[in-house]
Amino acid sequence: MSPPLQTLSGSTAWPALAEGLEEVCVVGTRDMAGAFAFALSRLPQDDGRPVLLAAGRRWSGEHGRPYGPGFRGAGLDGRGAGLILSEGRTESELLWIMEQALRSGAVSAALTTVEAASLAQTRRLEFAARDGAAVGVLLRQTEGGLSAARRRWRITTLRSVSNPDDLRSPGGFALSAELTRSRSERPGVWKLEQDDETHRLRLADRLAGDGLGERGRTGLAA
Residue 89 predicted with pLDDT over 50: yes
Residue 73 predicted with pLDDT over 80: no
Cα dist. 70→6, 12, 73, 167 in Å? 22, 28, 5, 23
The pLDDT tens digits of the residues spanning 10-66 come to: 334 677 787 899 999 998 888 998 899 899 888 887 888 999 999 988 888 788 887
Residue 208 predicted with pLDDT over 60: no
CATH number of 25-157: 3.40.50.300
pTM of this prediction exceeds 0.85 = no
- Distance in angstroms (rounded) separating the CA atoms of residues 92 and 89: 8
| Mean per-residue pLDDT of the chain | 79
Residue 215 predicted with pLDDT over 70: no
The pLDDT tens digits of the residues spanning 74-83 come to: 555 545 558 8
Give the model's pLDDT for residue 42. Answer: 85
pLDDT interval class at 90 (50, 70, 90): very high
Which of 158, 189, 199, 150 has the alpha carbon at shortest distance from 175? 158
- Distance in angstroms (rounded) separating the CA atoms of residues 195 and 189: 19
Which of 44, 24, 73, 6 has the alpha carbon at shortest distance from 176? 24
- Distance in angstroms (rounded) separating the CA atoms of residues 192 and 54: 25
Most confident among 56-65, 68-77, 191-200 (mean pLDDT):
56-65
- Distance in angstroms (rounded) separating the CA atoms of residues 86 and 62: 16
The pLDDT tens digits of the residues spanning 111-165 come to: 999 988 999 999 999 999 999 999 999 999 888 788 999 999 999 999 887 777 7
pLDDT interval class at 210 (50, 70, 90): very low
